[in-house]
A and B are shown apart, each in its own frame.
Chain A
Amino acid sequence: MAEHPDAAPPRTPNFLTWIVAWVIPGGGHVLLGRTGKGIFFFALLLLTFLGGLVLADFRTIKPIADNPFYFIGHFGSGMSLGLTHLLSRSAPRGLVPSRFSEAGLLYMSVAGLLNVLVMMSLNAPTDRSAPPAGKKEGLA
């Protein structure tokens, strides 16, 4: 098989990679050797989730009846699902939700859903590590 001189052959994700990618955002990319991108995804999604937690005053959606959309969003990554489960077992901090609780729940849900997108990019062929030969490097 001929090898490309300018690019390493892409590594295909296996079952373990998918599991790690679901549990830890960006973990699948790290396993595939794309460490920088994996750390980037992890930091971005973790910050989004933590920002949502702070905005929501560390309240989380527990039963699906509270809000099915936000609840389903937590299943996007094991990290958000686990942290949500752990935090929902603790006692609520007050009876009145904070002013930004809706936005906080949205942040947490989006962090989970974006991890699905990150997982889908594990074997996406559109990744470009270098511009193709003979083409100018403009804005991608």
Chain B
Amino acid sequence: MSPLWLFLPICMVTSLVLAATRDDRPLAVLARGARTFVLLSLVVALGCATFWFLQWAQPSRRAFLLGVGGVVVGFFALHALAQALAETPFGKQAHDALAWLGLAMPREVRDGAGSSGGPGGAGGGGGRS
């Protein structure tokens, strides 16, 4: 197996490409890329930890499938919970945090995007400030 640090350059390149596809300003690309890099590295670390845990625990096929099912069900449960909390102050703060990390569209952009599609861009000012 390859050393773990070899995944870091891949995460860095992927983060920079992702950031550059979403912004044109060099400093903003660097800032967004740095945040995405941290997140991607965490995801890779989580994946590796899961892999090592599975190697260590040697689960049976039934236990493995139950674990995967639990993760899938848990994901949808968390998604439903996030939807329910989206309009609460906590949900808005959480959304802002995700947007800052580059994982969600900022609320101003999201709220303004729906009304700015018409000719002339007449509806672009609907965003909350």
Q: How many residues on the A side are at the interface (Cβ–Cβ under 8 A)?
A: 33
Q: Are B10 and A106 in contact (CB under 8 A)?
A: yes
Main secondary structure of the interface of B (DSSP, over half): helix
User: Is B94 an interface position by the 8 A CB rule?
Assistant: no
Q: How many residues on the B side are at the interface (Cβ–Cβ under 8 A)?
A: 24
User: Is A75 an interface position by the 8 A CB rule?
Assistant: no
| Contacting residues, chain B, for A37 (C-beta < 8 A) | 20, 24
Total number of residue pairs linking A and B with CB closer than 8 Å: 74
Stretch in contact with the other chain, from B1-9, B51-59, B61-69: B1-9
Q: Are B28 and A140 in contact (CB under 8 A)?
A: yes
Q: Are A121 and B21 in contact (CB under 8 A)?
A: yes
CA distance A130 to B23 in the complex (A): 9
Partner of B13, one of A2, A48, A124: A48
Q: Are A100 and B2 in contact (CB under 8 A)?
A: yes
CA distance A139 to B22 in the complex (A): 13
CA distance A121 to B11 in the complex (A): 19
**Interface residues of A, Cβ cutoff 8 Å to B:** 2, 34, 37, 40-41, 44-45, 47-48, 51, 55, 99-100, 102-103, 106-107, 110-111, 114, 117-118, 120-121, 124, 126-130, 135, 139-140
